[in-house]
């Protein structure tokens, strides 16, 4: 497609503008965290000297070692369970005919449709009655349940987008449904699976409301909850709070950077006929 | 090696019956082609044979085993798909090996069988490549190799040549036929291309709307079609038809139309009206003394020059259009008046109501 130089320039200017708008808050926060702890800041500004001391102080004073560990335990477990359960379930819903398939799928979809805020109070009382509050399972189980709604929906759509001849060929070659799924279709589905993993990780890592309701002890407190508590205690220390925010944001950003090619492929799959 | 049998096989999709009481035998080592227009049920029949579609009623036998209840992996058939269906994340080697590995064939034996098949099909240099790095013809060979390597009881091929260009299609037809002759594996081949059917099949089975219209040797189906559909579907260009009145007298049958009269030998079972069919190759521009029936007149409506021959579409009357074959190039143009003749003893007669064949070569 031929595009004139004006159109190309205009496109690049617009993209640069949106990139600046998206990145500016992150850059401001990182720069703020590079200032000495306790510095009074109003707006963006470069520090006199770049220092990681504020990060060390915030890490120690905020107890982020424990917070990040808790978040990692919860997020990794939720992602693992969601992935392991959503892939075969999505495969079944996407490629097989069985009784009540449509009804079951709509039941699973309620996890996406029903607002989580409407479930949190009854969930708290149910979990308290069985001793699951103030525990990792109190965070893992509900988030896994909700993530599976998305995961099954996502993987079903992916498996439906594949040419049925692939499965037919494997079936004639002697493969069972289980072998077809794991040996033929999952390798093809890496971009879609990576996208699901990244999104579920991001949502789980950033989950605040559930942790706020379920967790009152420090041992099981997650990073977003810890950040909120840190901000309450050290609110005037902008560099310190900024450093803490960087800690909480970093894992998701790092994971995205490592998987962005697969993520984009997964998001765009189906938009262009391959 | 076992043959294949369809015994009164029916397939329904809800209210729609895709295959109606199909009964067809394929002998050991035979190459049978299922041919028909889109939607005739040929692919559905093949998929039922492979075990990819359930049978609504009837039986399917491979050898002496009833297989309609068995999953594909227990039928020991190999299938080549129209779009090849190669596993995109696997190399050519792994594509060829997949079926063997699934059946827990020892690694060394897998290597030997894959190498043999790759050398036979000219794929030895491509074993490390992925399907996206192959041309259409190469992918076709890998799909064939995947079937060949398993040494199955039957090859099932679902329009495997449809996505190839014309020249490659001709080459691959010969390749597939040679492969089948070499291996002696019973083969069922589905195509909508009647030229493929005629050139490849030991026998062809013509289907329409789920029904088997006729099956037999290609020359028999071509020269003695069972009805107008088969007559019009097999042959390129197709047979042309005209409704005629029938008079009997003087030991001959007269076929009459306002625009022409033909005489032929007496035939039993024909009423006062019939449909006459003529293949283009049995007509030609009029020549005195050539022993043709005619001359007949018409206006040229179309000219298809193919180099070696020219096919002229001739409107004899508003309800009678024929295709006449001329050798080499033709000087005739659209709208020209044209005289032609018909070879004697080459007419086909069909019942005007049921369209069933009454007589051939009259």
What whole-number percentage of chain A has pLDDT above 90? 66
Q: Is residue B163 pLDDT above 60, yes or no?
A: yes
- Asked if residue A251 belongs to a domain, the reply is yes
Mean of pLDDT over chain A:
90
Nearest-Cα residue of chain A relative to residue B72: A172
Distance of CA B215 to the CA centre of its chain: 10
* Contact check, Cβ <8 Å, A172/B51: yes
Mean of the pLDDT values across residues A50-55? 82
Q: Is residue A274 pLDDT above 60, yes or no?
A: no
pLDDT score, position A260: 84
Q: Which domain holds residue A104?
A: 64-273
Distance CA B83, CA B85 (A): 5
Which of A15-19, B13-17, B292-296 shows the lowest per-residue confidence on average (mean pLDDT)? B292-296
Chain A partners within 8 Å of B50 (Cβ): 168, 172
pLDDT score, position A272: 46
Distance CA B358, CA B14 (A): 37
Q: How many C-alpha atoms does A264 have within 13 Å on its Cβ side?
A: 4
Beta strands at B203-208 and B31-35: parallel, antiparallel or unpaired:
parallel
Between A50 and B22, where is the model more confident?
B22
pLDDT score, position B331: 87
The beta-carbon neighbor of B102 closest among A165, A174, A187 is A174
Between B208 and A41, where is the model more confident?
B208
Chain A partners within 8 Å of B99 (Cβ): 173-174
pLDDT score, position B123: 94
pLDDT score, position A51: 75
Q: Is residue A180 pLDDT above 60, yes or no?
A: yes
The beta-carbon neighbor of A166 closest among B50, B87, B150 is B87
Task: Determine the 3-state secondary structure of B242 from DSSP.
Answer: strand
Read off the pLDDT of residues B141-156 as tens digits, 9 standing for 90 and up: 999 999 999 999 999 9
Distance CA B290, CA B88 (A): 61
Q: What ipTM was assigned to the predicted interfaces of this complex?
A: 0.87
Read off the pLDDT of residues B100-142 as tens digits, 9 standing for 90 and up: 999 999 999 999 999 999 999 999 999 999 999 999 889 999 9
Q: What is the CA radius of gyration of chain B?
A: 24
Which residue in B216, B257, B249 sits closest to B360, CA to CA? Answer: B216
With an 8 Å Cβ cutoff, the interface of chain B facing chain A consists of 47, 50-52, 71-73, 77-79, 81-83, 85-90, 98-99, 102-103, 146, 150, 156
Mean of pLDDT over chain B:
93
Distance CA A181, CA B243 (A): 58
Read off the pLDDT of residues A108-156 as tens digits, 9 standing for 90 and up: 999 899 998 999 999 999 999 999 999 999 999 999 999 999 999 999 9
**A269: confidence class by pLDDT, cuts 50, 70, 90:** low
Read off the pLDDT of residues B13-48 as tens digits, 9 standing for 90 and up: 999 999 999 999 999 999 999 999 999 999 999 999
Mean of the pLDDT values across residues A198-213? 95
Distance CA B287, CA B173 (A): 38
- Asked if residue A26 belongs to a domain, the reply is no
Task: Determine the 3-state secondary structure of A52 from DSSP.
Answer: coil
Distance CA B79, CA B88 (A): 17
Sheet with B31-35, side-by-side order of all strands: B77-80, B154-158, B186-191, B31-35, B203-208, B211-216
Note whether A217 contacts B: Cβ–Cβ < 8 A: no
Whichever domain contains A85, its CATH number is 1.10.3720.10
**A195: confidence class by pLDDT, cuts 50, 70, 90:** very high
- Asked if residue A13 belongs to a domain, the reply is no
Q: Which of B49, B89, B150, B158 to mutate to test the interface with A (most CBs of A within 10 A)?
A: B89
Task: Determine the 3-state secondary structure of A4 from DSSP.
Answer: coil
- Asked if residue A49 belongs to a domain, the reply is no
- Asked if residue A140 belongs to a domain, the reply is yes
pTM, 2 dp: 0.84
* Contact check, Cβ <8 Å, A175/B73: yes
Chain A partners within 8 Å of B157 (Cβ): none
Chain A partners within 8 Å of B81 (Cβ): 165, 168-169
Chain A partners within 8 Å of B89 (Cβ): 187-188
Distance CA B309, CA B280 (A): 11
Are B123 and B142 spatial neighbours (Cβ–Cβ below 8 Å)?
Answer: yes
Mean of the pLDDT values across residues B233-245? 92
Number of structural domains (chain A) is 1
- Asked if residue A17 belongs to a domain, the reply is no
Nearest-Cα residue of chain A relative to residue B52: A168
Q: Which residues contact B238 (CB under 8 A, 6 or more apart)?
A: B232, B323
Chain B partners within 8 Å of A173 (Cβ): 73, 78, 98-99, 102, 146, 150
Sheet with B357-359, side-by-side order of all strands: B260-264, B252-257, B240-249, B273-278, B348-351, B357-359
What burial letters (b/e) apply to B103-137, b meaning 16+ CB within 10 Å? eebeeeebeebbbebbebbebeebbeebbeebeeb
**Chain A closest CA to B309's CA: distance in Å?**
41
- Asked if residue A53 belongs to a domain, the reply is no
Q: Which of A174, A180, A184, A265 to mutate to test the interface with B (most CBs of B within 10 A)?
A: A174
- Asked if residue A25 belongs to a domain, the reply is no
pLDDT score, position A273: 39
Q: What is the CA radius of gyration of chain A?
A: 23
Q: Is residue A44 pLDDT above 80, yes or no?
A: no
pLDDT score, position A3: 66
**Burial label, B2 (beta-carbon count in 10 A; 0-12, 13-18, 19+):** middle
For residue B59, list its beta bridge partners: B7
Are B170 and B178 spatial neighbours (Cβ–Cβ below 8 Å)?
Answer: no
What are φ and ψ of residue B303, in 5° steps? Answer: -135, 120
pLDDT score, position B268: 84
Note whether A188 contacts B: Cβ–Cβ < 8 A: yes
What are φ and ψ of residue B264, in 5° steps? Answer: -150, 175
* Contact check, Cβ <8 Å, B146/A163: no
Task: Give the Cβ contact number of residue B25 at 10 Å.
Answer: 14
Read off the pLDDT of residues B182-225 as tens digits, 9 standing for 90 and up: 999 999 999 999 899 999 999 999 999 999 999 999 999 999 99
* Contact check, Cβ <8 Å, B81/A168: yes
Are B144 and B95 spatial neighbours (Cβ–Cβ below 8 Å)?
Answer: no
């Amino acid at each position: 497609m031929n595009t004139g130089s004006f159109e190309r320039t205009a496109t690049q200017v617009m993209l640069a503008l949106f990139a600046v708008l998206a990145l500016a808050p992150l850059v401001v926060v990182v720069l703020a965290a590079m200032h000495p702890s306790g510095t009074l800041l109003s707006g963006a500004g470069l520090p006199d000297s770049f220092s990681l001391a504020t990060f060390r102080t915030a890490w120690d004073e905020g107890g982020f070692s424990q917070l990040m560990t808790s978040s990692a335990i919860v997020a990794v477990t939720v992602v693992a369970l969601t992935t392991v359960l959503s892939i075969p379930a999505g495969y079944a819903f996407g490629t097989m005919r069985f009784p009540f398939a449509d009804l079951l799928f709509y039941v699973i979809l309620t996890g996406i449709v029903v607002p989580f805020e409407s479930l949190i109070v009854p969930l708290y009382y149910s979990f308290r009655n069985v001793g699951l509050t103030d525990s990792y399972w109190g965070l893992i189980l509900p988030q896994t349940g909700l993530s599976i709604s998305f995961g099954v929906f996502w993987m079903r759509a992916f498996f439906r987008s594949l040419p049925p001849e692939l499965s037919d060929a494997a079936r004639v070659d002697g493969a069972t449904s289980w072998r077809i799924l794991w040996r033929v279709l999952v390798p093809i589905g890496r971009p879609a699976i990576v996208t699901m993993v990244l999104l579920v990780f991001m949502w789980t890592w950033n989950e605040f409301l559930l942790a706020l309701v379920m967790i009152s002890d420090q041992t099981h407190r997650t990073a977003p909850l810890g950040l909120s508590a840190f901000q309450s205690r050290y609110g005037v220390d902008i560099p310190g709070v900024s450093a803490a925010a960087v800690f909480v944001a970093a894992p998701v950003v790092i994971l995205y950077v490592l998987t962005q090619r697969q993520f984009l492929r997964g998001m765009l799959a189906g938009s262009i006929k391959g | 090696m076992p043959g294949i049998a369809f015994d009164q096989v029916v397939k329904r999709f809800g209210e729609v019956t895709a295959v109606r009481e199909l009964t067809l035998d394929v002998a050991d080592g035979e190459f049978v082609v299922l041919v028909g227009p889109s939607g005739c049920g040929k692919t559905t029949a093949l998929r039922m044979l492979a075990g990819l579609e359930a049978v609504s009623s009837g039986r399917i036998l491979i050898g002496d085993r009833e297989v309609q209840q068995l999953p594909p992996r227990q039928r020991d058939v190999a299938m080549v798909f129209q779009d090849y269906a190669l596993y995109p994340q696997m190399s050519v080697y792994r594509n060829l090996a997949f079926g063997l590995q699934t059946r827990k064939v020892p690694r060394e034996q897998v290597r030997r069988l894959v190498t043999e098949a790759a050398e036979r099909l000219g794929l030895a240099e491509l074993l490390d490549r992925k399907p996206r790095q192959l041309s259409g013809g190469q992918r076709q060979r890998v799909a064939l190799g995947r079937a060949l390597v398993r040494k199955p009881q039957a090859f099932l091929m679902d329009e495997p040549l449809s996505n190839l260009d014309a020249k490659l299609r001709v080459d691959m037809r010969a390749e597939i036929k040679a492969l089948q002759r070499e291996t002696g594996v019973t083969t069922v081949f589905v195509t909508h291309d009647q030229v493929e059917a005629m050139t490849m099949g030991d026998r062809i089975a013509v289907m329409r709307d789920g029904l088997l219209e006729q099956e037999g040797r290609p020359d028999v189906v071509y020269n003695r079609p069972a009805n107008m559909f088969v007559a019009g579907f097999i042959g390129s260009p197709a047979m042309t038809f005209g409704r005629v009145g029938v008079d009997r007298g003087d030991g001959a049958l007269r076929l009459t139309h306002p625009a022409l009269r033909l005489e032929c030998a007496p035939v039993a079972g024909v009423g006062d009206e019939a449909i006459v069919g003529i293949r283009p190759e049995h007509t030609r521009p009029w020549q005195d003394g050539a022993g043709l029936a005619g001359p007949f007149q018409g206006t040229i409506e179309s000219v298809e020059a193919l180099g070696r021959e020219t096919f002229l579409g001739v409107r004899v009357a508003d309800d009678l259009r024929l295709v006449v074959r001329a050798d080499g190039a033709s000087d005739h143009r659209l709208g020209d008046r044209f005289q032609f003749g018909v070879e004697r003893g080459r007419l086909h007669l069909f019942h005007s109501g049921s369209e069933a064949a009454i007589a051939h070569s009259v």
